């Protein structure tokens, strides 16, 4: 079966991504993992090569590509090359921050932020989660208080990707002036640039995706111009809901790529490793495991590809995106585990790509909404 999703343009774009990986990332990635940092020059080079801000309209420096299949190809290439932290870091910038600016920002806001996100000179993060508010975003306590033409932002965020080395954050903050249980209209969104009162913790020592910096953010009466508010006051949660399909789909795409990569890595190892005088592929058990990996990664890819086409057509609902994220992330967790087993002890060593796939996959049933929250979402809509 030929994969129906991609066309010639997408495969040409894949070549660009493959070259970028080979030239800018291979051979350096292991050091970035030790540093918990993707160097700033790599962001800029990604910008120069047209890999960032694909959806940004031409008038704001981008290419105005609203075909999500290009993001799919990019993600697949980072995962296939074992550079999974780049997939995550660029995902936060492109899938989580950009859509809010593009869909709800004023022209002034777009002109200020979009060109520097496209050229990679400004690295952004998406700061929703707090120590007391992960699955339950209505528990967010970071607050913004009106002060003339500005807002004073105070609070703490946690688990923020690109948080330690990023330049600016998209922040969900309470703007209703209340401290009791929040309502659907208690929150607003702001683009917040590093300035006085904006600080971060050290990157967390994560089990995987270590080259991507994930950190706490602290805001102590940070002055934010009202011009950096996104959309209407009180509509923050409504916008977050509207953007759920893309946020969830993006994770499903990465998860599906991990499924395919896990199968490829297991097959290669099994073909080259011998025990008791024969290749692992000579054992029926290994062949059966590989057969399952191949079949299940195909099923996952087919489901995700269908969701990508629905998203392109503007038809992917938040509940359908929850199904795709649930299926693909749980599959990535399972398949990377099975593929790791085929590697024996080598699978446990981080320099082997399957160990990278396994630890990255473990995040995907948690990040961007846990599997339990996906089931809640799907179940409630029945």
Ligand X SMILES: Cc1cc2nc3c(=O)[nH]c(=O)nc-3n(C[C@H](O)[C@H](O)[C@H](O)COP(=O)(O)OP(=O)(O)OC[C@H]3O[C@@H](n4cnc5c(N)ncnc54)[C@H](O)[C@@H]3O)c2cc1C
Question: Which residue in 182, 178, 192 sits closest to 230, CA to CA?
Answer: 192
Q: Shortest Cβ contact with ligand X: which residue?
A: 134
Q: Does 160 bind ligand X (CB under 6 A)?
A: yes
Q: In angstroms, how far is CA 218 from the centroid of its own chain?
A: 22
| Window 195-224: residues binding ligand X (CB under 6 A) | 206, 214
Contact residue for ligand X among 26, 135, 199, 295 (CB under 6 A): 135
Sole binder of ligand X in the list 90, 159, 239, 263 (CB under 6 A): 159
Residue 285: burial class (beta carbons within 10 Å; 0-12, 13-18, 19+): exposed
C-alpha distances in angstroms, 96 versus 194, 199, 250?
Answer: 19, 21, 9
- Rounded-to-integer distance, Cα 213 and Cα 163, Å: 6
Interface with ligand X (CB under 6 A), residue from 128, 151, 198, 311 = 128
Which residues in 301-360 contact ligand X (CB under 6 A)?
none
134 binds ligand X (CB under 6 A): yes
Interaction of residue 378 with ligand X, rule CB under 6 A: no
Q: How far is the CB of 368 from ligand X (least distance, A)?
A: 5
C-beta closer to ligand X: residue 65 or 240: 240
Choose one: 24-32, 57-65, 69-77, 157-165; the region binding ligand X (CB under 6 A).
Answer: 157-165
Shortest separation between residue 305's beta carbon and ligand X, angstroms: 25
Q: Does 239 bind ligand X (CB under 6 A)?
A: no
Rounded Cα–Cα distance for residues 87 and 369 (Å): 18
* Chain length of the chain: 382
Angle at 300 between CA 297 and CA 305, to 5 degrees: 120
- CA 125/CA 117 separation, integer angstroms: 11
Between 286 and 356, name the residue whose CB sits nearer to ligand X: 356
129 contacts ligand X (rule: CB under 6 A) = yes
Whole-angstrom distance, CA of residue 234 vs CA of residue 373? 24
Q: Using the 8-state DSSP alphabet, how is residue 130 labeled?
A: B
The string of DSSP codes covering 328-374 is HHHHHHHHHHHHHHHTGGGGGSTTSHHHHHHHHHHHHTTTTS-HHHH
Q: Which of 222, 307, 368, 377 forms a contact with ligand X (CB under 6 A)?
A: 368
List the Cα angle 15/122/356 in 5-degree steps: 50
Q: Which is nearer to ligand X, 175 or 377 (CB)?
A: 377
Residues 82-121 that bind ligand X (CB under 6 A): 92
CB nearer to ligand X: pick between 214 and 329: 214
Site size toward ligand X, by CB under 6 A: 22
Residue 62 touches ligand X, criterion: CB under 6 A: no
Segment contacting ligand X by CB under 6 A, of 22-30, 54-62, 159-167, 264-272: 159-167
**Residues interacting with ligand X, by CB under 6 A?**
92, 125-129, 134-135, 159-161, 206, 214, 363, 366-370, 372-373, 376
């Amino acid at each position: 079966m030929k994969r129906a999703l991609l066309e010639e343009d997408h495969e040409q774009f894949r070549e660009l991504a493959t070259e970028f990986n080979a030239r800018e990332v291979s051979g350096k990635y292991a050091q970035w993992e030790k540093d918990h940092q993707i160097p700033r020059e790599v962001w800029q080079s990604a910008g120069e090569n047209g890999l960032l801000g694909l959806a940004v309209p031409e008038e704001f420096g981008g290419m105005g590509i609203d075909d999500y299949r290009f993001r799919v190809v990019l993600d697949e290439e980072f995962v296939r090359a074992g550079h999974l932290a780049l997939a995550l870091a660029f995902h936060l910038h492109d899938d989580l921050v950009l859509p809010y600016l593009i869909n709800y920002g004023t022209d002034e806001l777009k002109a200020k932020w979009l060109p520097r996100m496209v050229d990679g000179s400004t690295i952004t993060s998406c700061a929703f989660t707090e120590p007391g508010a992960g699955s339950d975003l209505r528990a967010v306590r970071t607050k913004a208080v009106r002060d003339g033409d500005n807002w004073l932002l105070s609070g703490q965020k946690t688990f923020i990707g690109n948080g330690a080395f990023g330049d600016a954050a998209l922040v969900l903050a309470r703007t209703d002036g209340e401290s009791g249980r929040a309502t659907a209209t208690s929150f607003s969104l702001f683009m917040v640039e590093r300035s006085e009162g904006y600080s971060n913790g050290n990157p967390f020592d994560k089990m995987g995706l270590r080259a991507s910096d994930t950190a706490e953010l602290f805001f102590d009466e940070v002055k934010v111009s009202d011009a950096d508010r996104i959309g209407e006051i009180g509509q923050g949660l409504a916008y977050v809901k509207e953007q759920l399909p893309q946020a969830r789909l993006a994770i499903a795409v990465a998860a599906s790529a991990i499924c395919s990569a896990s199968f490829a890595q297991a097959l290669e190892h099994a073909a080259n490793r011998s025990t008791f005088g024969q290749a692992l592929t000579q054992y029926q058990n290994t062949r059966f495991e590989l057969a399952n990996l191949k079949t299940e990664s195909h099923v996952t890819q087919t489901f995700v590809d269908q969701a990508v086409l629905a998203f392109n057509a503007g038809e992917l609902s938040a509940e359908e995106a929850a199904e795709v994220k649930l299926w693909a992330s749980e599959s990535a967790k399972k398949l990377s585990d099975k593929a790791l087993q085929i590697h024996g002890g080598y699978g446990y060593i981080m320099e082997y790509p399957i160990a990278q796939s396994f630890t990255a996959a473990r995040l995907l049933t948690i990040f961007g909404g846990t599997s339990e929250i996906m089931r809640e979402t799907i179940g409630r809509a029945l």
